[in-house]
Chain A
Amino acid sequence: MWATNLKVVGIVLGTLALYTLIANKIPQVQSEVPQTLTLGANVTPEQLVAAGEKVFNGIGGCTTCHGLGTRAPNLLTDEKGTGPIGARCGKREPAKSCKQYLYESLDNPTAFVVPGYQPIMPVMTKQLSPPQVWSVIAFLESEGGTVDVTASDIPATPSTSTTSPTGSGGGGGGAGSGGFAGGSTDPKAIIAAAGCLACHKLDGQGQVIAPDLTHVGSRRDAESIRKKILDPASSIAKGYEKLAGIMPKTFGTMMNAAQLEALAQYLAAHK
């Protein structure tokens, strides 16, 4: 009986040892707690780039998607012949500098979605502090481009995420407590800033991934549209069941009440 007992113990310990060994042989990645990044008034571009690289490869979690070539565009290597991100960021959106474009990508990632990719990127200005955000921008600029981020771009104190690189509130198009597009109640500005056309088509513009909104008013009233924005899963348009869950649930919290009302009325008028 002792021989049987020993064999059983041997099997159990051997199996546990095998699994533990394999798990210790693979690359070991620990999820770190965000560290406070303090950058002085005299921070140099080199310091910003070095700090940004650390955030990019670490707490920012950027490498989870960027660089794989499937979930998100390559940033550090060539992306379909356009070069690394520093070389192409200034040409992505008309009238937007590289710095403005990169800030918008982090603050309001659905505002411009590179064709061929899904709008899955989280709002990084909610997860990273301003110094972290700006150091990442400096690092990305350094990848094939020129670093023009300076200490003056970084807010002295934590502010809302709508802070834009231009300092005039015009470039970010982000959403904070004031809502999209700096709190504008112009439905077209809200639609542009929220990136609705990355999936929906409206008045001949946008993509056809999600339902065409050109005649949405004939299918839904303002109340239904309002509800749909606040809770996208509340009703799914026929034929789009497979896309259930793709529309972010956060739009309702990213725009203010006046914007929500303006957008609902605007879309309801599209009979």
Chain B
Amino acid sequence: MANHVRNVLAIAGKELRGYFASPIAWVMMGLFAIMFGYFYTVYLAYFVRAGMQSQFGGGPPTQNINMDMIRPLLSNASVLVLFLLPMVTMRTYSEEKRSGTIELLLTSPLTDFEIVMGKFIGAIGLYAALLVVTAVYLSMLFVFGNPEWRPVVAGYLGLFLLGSCFISAGLFISSTTKNQMVAGAATFVLALMFWIINWSADSASNPTVSDVLNYLSITQHFEDFGKGIIDTTHLIFYFSFISFWLFLTLKSVDSERWRG
């Protein structure tokens, strides 16, 4: 067990170093900071203006920084994640296959599971760093205001799980191709599909189909987290989703061995 953990961490560490040694991590963090900062400013200005209006009468009667600012902000952050994470995962396997370094990993005393987990955790590490960037903005609200922390933590947990879903799916797609661009584009489309899959739920004639489509929607499960609710149904959905794609990645790596 200790050996497994050590091996997974060795791969994860290598992945993280790879992200930060190349411009990827820094560009991601920069873009994420700019976009999130823009949303932050817009919502903050809106929130302040609405607050002033309600003070002099005429605006919404009560204002809640959690519901009116943090929640939509995190919801917007999830859209950024949809766009940025395919760029993180697209190289995970593709690059190793293209440059031949996959031969080093597959001939080292590591199991395929350790390699897949290591790559998954490495990408999660970079994603966590992106989330830390957003936390810097939000911490300002705690310094100058008095928001409730529970919904914020729940929202972050939701965002984290949402991103992990994209990473697991992206890992699988990257394991099927040598071409980074193909991996990135396909991951984006796949993630987008799961994002909007419930749009067709309303028009589905069969109620079961409609339920299934709603259940498969990644965003549907995210909403409760934004409200500060941590529901096991959603946790189970996210964990199954992640396990499913990691399992497929494992199978894909294994079948790749046979094909050479």
Same complex for A and B? Answer: no
Q: List chain A positions with a Cβ less than 8 A from chain B.
A: none
